[in-house]
Structure 1
Amino acid sequence: MKHCDFSTGKVSMLRLGGGLDNGRRVRRGKMDDWKYIFLEQEGPVAQLAEDLDQQPIPIARPASPNVQRERDPNAGLNKKPNTEWESSIALQAVVPSASPAAKNDACDPNNPRVFHMFWTGPFTDKPYLALMSYLFSQNTGIHLLANETGPSVCRPQFWLWINPGPAASVPNPSAVHDMYEQLKTSPWAAPFLHPRFKDIIQFKLWNTTEQLDGVPELKDEWRALSGSLFNSGGQVISVPEEKIKAVESGAGGNSTSTKEDDMLNRTGSKSLSSYDRLSVILSDMARFVLCHRFGGIYLDADTIFLRDWEELWGWKGAFAYRWSRLENYNTAVLRMNKNSALGTFLFRTALKNGLDFHPMTVTKYMADAHLEGLLLRLPDALFDSAWLNTEYFQRERPPQPYFTEFADLFDTPPQNSAAPQALGFEGFFRGAYSYHFHNFWWKPFDPSRNWPDLGPRFIAGERAARHALTTSSPPSPTDAGEAEVDKEDEDSVTDDKRDLDWSAVLKRTFESYIRGERPNMYGEWIHW
């Protein structure tokens, strides 16, 4: 942790400690102080401490028998006026800890390896690239053929939760069927319905009512706040019931609608001026709901995987990461255990504060209760390496590539325009687990080739996306079989942009792996 504090600027240890510089190491000397990955071993902690020739430090000193303790658990606490004390909560039994060597199954049901992501509206190149980077960097085993058996490891899964309509609407009875029909006809989504990905990528329908009813700490009380459900940092966007009905029927989208109505009907952010704020607020709550109900790790949709998360899965505790220079949480990455006491505390506290799950508010919840030790605040260098630079910090020794704005991912400055192709994926924040590009939903990753470029096996989707750029009624990518590339689909390199931006280089790198033209980042080739 000390080496990743922005005040010290020592972020290169992420690469070395993670072994990502193997075969190309230029550092010399003893490097034990930079190691941060450990293997679990069987045996009690006391035995491990004895091996280190020291005795374990007691957690707490036993109290003197002569000291009289207060029996009232609320003693010394001041109650707010007109509020009631929380009733006693029955927490689940503590799950016993066991090392991997002591388990019969590679996967631990108490610690499922599930990535969650929340998406609203039509499927675009943003969730497409998140899934592509997941396939390129995680230990999914898709490089193995159906009759091959690899090592006994726990493969992660990616659950993409889709809210098909505006944030304030309620899905209709045929929403699941409609969702899959839209996925089948979407050039960006259809490739992930291929049978090769069925065990590692799942699409799930988000239903706010169903999800909140699935949280025991909320199910009996959240409806009293349904009119002010969209609460962010204490700022409430009220959605009256008649507005919800108008959104469901589509009446809110007529020409006489007000700006408020437009906001209620948005399904994703089409531009900076039409930002879908309601969906953003809903996602602030959704991440806690999903992690509490199912366990796993939540990631914002503007996230790109950069390395395997095996070491993070090995940590059984909860974590988020630091909000740039501020000692607050950013929950763009959030890990929580299923049905944990931490989750119970957060939901009961949020319920008393209008269901406000903004990261700054969550920071206040944890600090006021002195529970920050239960939610580890990891350095932002692990997931958001450019953030400090964009706020004029750490510029004397910045991570590479050097971004002064988040837009540099999509529009690489001219003086650095040769770097993306020269350095490639291996030169993009090497050592970080992921990159958070902070919105820009309306900016295409690859303007010159703004379609899924996955080769003949997925040519139907490519053709549909190509036609969508020139016509208003593109064909649907219903054919998932192989097809030959027509001459009209062939391109000349002279038509391409001379200096590709970082976003285009990353997209094309991930796609070349699926086409079978290069291995993934760990040297594994996919064989169709």
Structure 2
Amino acid sequence: MASSSYFAKPQRQNGLHRGRLSISNALPVYSASSSSSAVQEKYARRAQLSPWWVPVSVAIPGFRTRRLRILVLNPRRVHDFSMTRFGRKRGSLLLCLAIMTIVFATFALAKRFGTHAKQWPTPFTGDQPTLVYKREDLQRIWKWEIDSGHYPSRRNIPIQLKLKRTPENPALDSQRPSISSRFRSPSGPYAINTRGVGPRRVYLDVQAQPPMVAYPPRPAPGSIADLDTVMDHCDFSEKKFVRDCLEVLRVGAGLDNGKRVRRGNFDDWKYVFVEEDDSSAHVARSLDEDLADIHETPDSGVTKIDDGSDPDSGLTKKRGVSWETPPIRLTKPIRPRAHSTLDSPCDPEYPRIFHMFWTGPFTDKPYLALLSFLFTQNTGLHLHVSNKACRPQFWLWINPGPAAAVPNPSAVRDMYAQLRLNPWSSPFLHPKFKDIIKFKMWNTTEQLDGVQELKDEWRSRDLFNSGGVVINVPSKVKAGPITGPNGTTAEPSATSKASKTGEDDMLNRTGSKSLSTYDRLSVILSDMARFILCHRFGGIYLDADTIFLRDWEELWGWRGAFAYRWSRLEKYNTAVLRLNKNSALGKFLFRTALKNNLDFHPMTVSRYTKEAHLEGLLLRLPDALFDSAWLNTEEYQLSRPPQPFFTSFEQFFDTPPTDSAAPQALGFDGFFRGAFSYHFHNFWWKPFDPARNWPDLGPRFEEGERRARQGLQAASTTSGPDAIPPEDGGENVEDDRRDLDWATVLKRTFESYIRGERPNMYGEWIHW
């Protein structure tokens, strides 16, 4: 149909657009283009003939002769209407957007009202606020942690707390001045500092003394790391290099063991101190003050805002939930005691327990973590044992089945049966290690019920929530039998059989066997497990892909909570987590996580503490201390990297040929010297020692080695350098790999200590 100029849209003249013509007859106006006009006219005619609603018949289950007749929106009428109203291009675009909006709204409503979370999806609202505690409760948390000695720092407390009284800090030296002015900020009427009332700090010049200069000295019992000083030299936000940080750490701890080449005054690098019990250093307290502490009310130390303004102004509460009520209830703080005043080497308020979580069969990964623990920590295995040192323990928590499985009644018995059969784990059942290495069965239900803040409500939440992404699992997933390496299994007894369909799907995985079969559910479960274990039992949690590199005595002495930095981001990585037992900070984290659908992803925990102004209570240490290669792997600080220089985490297992002389030439002492540990970031499927992929611990543990080698020989088709050598003692050094990777060198170093062929890193020989 031709288009009449009368019906055409007004055109631009001289660059200006005249006002739309007023048409008195109310006839539709189409485009000046004849083709466009014809199409729109056709859509207009068809739209007038199509109804908005059309009937649809739906079969009724159980009634063959009856059908349900319902009315639905007519897609053709909607399409014709949009084309007529907006044209083909704009109409099609708007129609697509409308369909997407309807689909997303349906999904959002289902998530908001059809799940335990009762939350709108993140794309709908962005990052929601997570805060559920009022300002008065946040003040109580800060005051309890400070009074308990969990804030041994001179850095400012947040002005947003609006504290009007300066808290007394028993973890700070009363004779040492406050932190330098560059860390201060205008506070107005509010307190941003704490006042030290604790024992005097004596900073140590730790050096090896002749003639014992071949190995570094053990840290002094009760010594403490001043993490304020460590932050001054290591903070990435202040443009500090990992290489320089590691030098300060090893020199300050005496790890250069008599080979010091630096000259000058090292006072600024001293970060290790001991507390000297000096009664004159303490602020005198009257009897009235002591009685006031005993009868302390929940509002003690809380700043009341009585000027008529909102006491929680500046805080953004989580949408859809109410503030936590009643006010947070905390036990009476226990003042810290100097190590020299303790009745025994170990302070019962601060148990020295390393926790590690493991899913599935025991492999060379937890094996090496345990060996590195024995090689570096003051476990008392050596000949000359100091009765002044507190021996740490290593608790390895094993979840033998899939993360979503329910343990069977014989799970503990089956676990120990597998530990005895497994060549990687059986050495640690030796009586020599019974007081320092303990295997624990992980039971999710039991652990969650053991947390006072969760036990009554966790069942209405989603257990597998990571960063707001929820993985739904069936309500009942039965546990399968515990499977050892090389296909060995324990007697099933009453063990429930795992699902035989899709045994390698996400729900049935027990550990990550390759990059494509990553056990995501176990990773999510471990994100929660680390907080539960530290809160219930105290201690420090470490991921299973962690290797100890030095004694942690100084970190145990620092009584505060900490994790470390997520590489370049100002977020937490909880691969290392220190959290005090039943602390106020722990209560905050669990109640906040509960109101956020049990999300314990490190990024989410970073939001919890930031929005509540509690970041100072969970110190974010530089990753140089525990993860020295991370910045380099993300292409930061490449101009001055530390030793060794990794551009990817895989190079720990596969050292580049151009750098492959370093592992054997430098050995353990040349591997990130000064760091407390190394985190190799997964790679569960790559062996530490491909040429000798079995526990090599000598005649005392030869039975486990024999089983491992037989299993490998039966499954191996490899020839050449990586072929499995015979067991008859005919191994030749020429059969070994020519270039040994860093992972291999560390494994063989730790094993030679257990065999009694060399001392540990502090020159101590194991005493069998």
What is aligned with 2:333? Answer: 94
Aligned residue type for 2:538: G
Q: Tell me, what secondary structure is at the counterpart of 1:115?
A: strand
What is aligned with 2:610? Answer: 367
What is aligned with 2:373? Answer: 134
Asked if 1:39 is matched to 2:274, the reply is yes
1:42: Cα distance to partner?
1.2
Q: 1:155 aligns with which of 381, 391, 401?
A: 391
What is aligned with 1:523? Answer: 763
1:369: Cα distance to partner?
0.2
Q: How does 1:333-482 map to 2 (within 5 A)?
A: 333-471=576-714
Q: Tell me, what secondary structure is at the counterpart of 1:522?
A: coil
Any idea what the Cα deviations from partners look like across 1:30-79, whole Å, max 9, x if unmatched? 0111111111121369559xxxxxxxxxxxxxx9x999456986577565
What is aligned with 2:8? Answer: none
Q: What is the identity percentage for the equivalent residue pairs of Structure 1 and Structure 2?
A: 71
**Distance of 1:18 and 1:149 partners within structure 2:** 20
Asked if 1:290 is matched to 2:558, the reply is no
1:487: Cα distance to partner?
5.8
Q: 1:121 aligns with which of 360, 368, 373?
A: 360
Q: Tell me, what secondary structure is at the counterpart of 1:284?
A: helix
8 Å CA contact 2:406–2:479 kept in 1: the answer is no
Aligned residue type for 2:414: D
Any idea what the Cα deviations from partners look like across 1:348-397, whole Å, max 9, x if unmatched? 00001110000000000000000001001111000000000000001111
What is aligned with 1:184? Answer: 420
Q: 2:249 aligns with which of 11, 14, 21?
A: 14
Q: 1:4 aligns with which of 217, 234, 241?
A: 234
Q: How does 1:48-59 map to 2 (within 5 A)?
A: none
Q: 1:171 aligns with which of 407, 417, 440?
A: 407
Q: Tell me, what secondary structure is at the counterpart of 1:106?
A: coil
**Distance of 2:316 and 2:664 partners within structure 1:** 61
Residues 219, 470 of structure 1: alpha-carbon distance in 2 compared, 3 angstrom cutoff: same
8 Å CA contact 1:17–1:37 kept in 2: the answer is yes
Residues 73, 412 of structure 1: alpha-carbon distance in 2 compared, 3 angstrom cutoff: same
8 Å CA contact 1:41–1:101 kept in 2: the answer is yes
Residues 468, 85 of structure 1: alpha-carbon distance in 2 compared, 3 angstrom cutoff: same
Aligned residue type for 1:313: W
**Distance of 2:263 and 2:315 partners within structure 1:** 55
Residues 237, 41 of structure 1: alpha-carbon distance in 2 compared, 3 angstrom cutoff: same
Asked if 1:237 is matched to 2:486, the reply is no
TM-score w.r.t. length of structure 1: 0.89
Any idea what the Cα deviations from partners look like across 1:397-419, whole Å, max 9, x if unmatched? 11100011100100000000110
Residues 519, 78 of structure 1: alpha-carbon distance in 2 compared, 3 angstrom cutoff: closer
8 Å CA contact 2:382–2:765 kept in 1: the answer is yes
**Distance of 2:479 and 2:711 partners within structure 1:** 30
**Distance of 1:329 and 1:80 partners within structure 2:** 21
What is aligned with 2:452? Answer: 216
8 Å CA contact 1:162–1:206 kept in 2: the answer is yes
TM-score w.r.t. length of structure 2: 0.62
**Distance of 1:231 and 1:66 partners within structure 2:** 37
Aligned residue type for 2:278: G
8 Å CA contact 2:628–2:678 kept in 1: the answer is yes
Residues 47, 194 of structure 1: alpha-carbon distance in 2 compared, 3 angstrom cutoff: same
1:105: Cα distance to partner?
1.1
**Distance of 1:446 and 1:22 partners within structure 2:** 29
1:486: Cα distance to partner?
9.3
Any idea what the Cα deviations from partners look like across 1:440-486, whole Å, max 9, x if unmatched? 0000000000000000111101101101102269xxxxxxxxxxx99
**Distance of 1:465 and 1:27 partners within structure 2:** 47
What is aligned with 2:323? Answer: 85
**Distance of 1:86 and 1:202 partners within structure 2:** 38
Q: How many equivalent pairs are there?
A: 492
1:82: Cα distance to partner?
4.0
Q: Which has the higher contact order (CA 8 A, sep 6+)?
A: 1
Structure 1: gaps (5+ residues): 49-62, 474-484
**Distance of 2:519 and 2:304 partners within structure 1:** 61
8 Å CA contact 2:498–2:508 kept in 1: the answer is no
Q: 1:325 aligns with which of 561, 564, 568?
A: 568
Structure 2: gaps (5+ residues): 1-230, 284-300, 481-494, 717-724
Aligned residue type for 1:233: G
Q: Tell me, what secondary structure is at the counterpart of 1:95?
A: coil
8 Å CA contact 2:561–2:618 kept in 1: the answer is yes
8 Å CA contact 1:143–1:525 kept in 2: the answer is yes
Higher deviation after alignment, 74-83 or 321-330: 74-83
Any idea what the Cα deviations from partners look like across 1:281-329, whole Å, max 9, x if unmatched? 0000000000000000000000000000000001000000011011111
Residues 83, 487 of structure 1: alpha-carbon distance in 2 compared, 3 angstrom cutoff: closer
1:175: Cα distance to partner?
0.7
Q: Tell me, what secondary structure is at the counterpart of 2:276?
A: coil
**Distance of 2:695 and 2:404 partners within structure 1:** 31
Q: How does 1:492-503 map to 2 (within 5 A)?
A: 492-503=732-743
1:246: Cα distance to partner?
8.2
1:240: Cα distance to partner?
2.2
Residues 445, 79 of structure 1: alpha-carbon distance in 2 compared, 3 angstrom cutoff: closer
Any idea what the Cα deviations from partners look like across 1:245-304, whole Å, max 9, x if unmatched? 4878445332xx39xx71000000000000000000000000000000000000000000
Q: Tell me, what secondary structure is at the counterpart of 2:728?
A: helix
**Distance of 2:479 and 2:451 partners within structure 1:** 28
Any idea what the Cα deviations from partners look like across 1:211-246, whole Å, max 9, x if unmatched? 000000000000111xx210000000011214x248
Residues 218, 471 of structure 1: alpha-carbon distance in 2 compared, 3 angstrom cutoff: same
**Distance of 2:555 and 2:479 partners within structure 1:** 44
8 Å CA contact 2:369–2:545 kept in 1: the answer is yes
**Distance of 1:465 and 1:459 partners within structure 2:** 10
Q: 2:744 aligns with which of 490, 497, 504?
A: 504
Aligned residue type for 2:670: G
What is aligned with 2:74? Answer: none
Q: Tell me, what secondary structure is at the counterpart of 2:647?
A: coil
Higher deviation after alignment, 463-472 or 321-330: 463-472
8 Å CA contact 1:463–1:489 kept in 2: the answer is no
Aligned residue type for 1:406: F
1:497: Cα distance to partner?
0.3
**Distance of 1:524 and 1:399 partners within structure 2:** 28
Residues 72, 172 of structure 1: alpha-carbon distance in 2 compared, 3 angstrom cutoff: farther
1:152: Cα distance to partner?
2.1
After superposition, the CA RMSD in angstroms is 2.3
**Distance of 2:317 and 2:378 partners within structure 1:** 50
**Distance of 1:369 and 1:79 partners within structure 2:** 10
Any idea what the Cα deviations from partners look like across 1:149-197, whole Å, max 9, x if unmatched? 6332110000000000000001111111110000000000000000000
Q: Tell me, what secondary structure is at the counterpart of 1:241?
A: coil
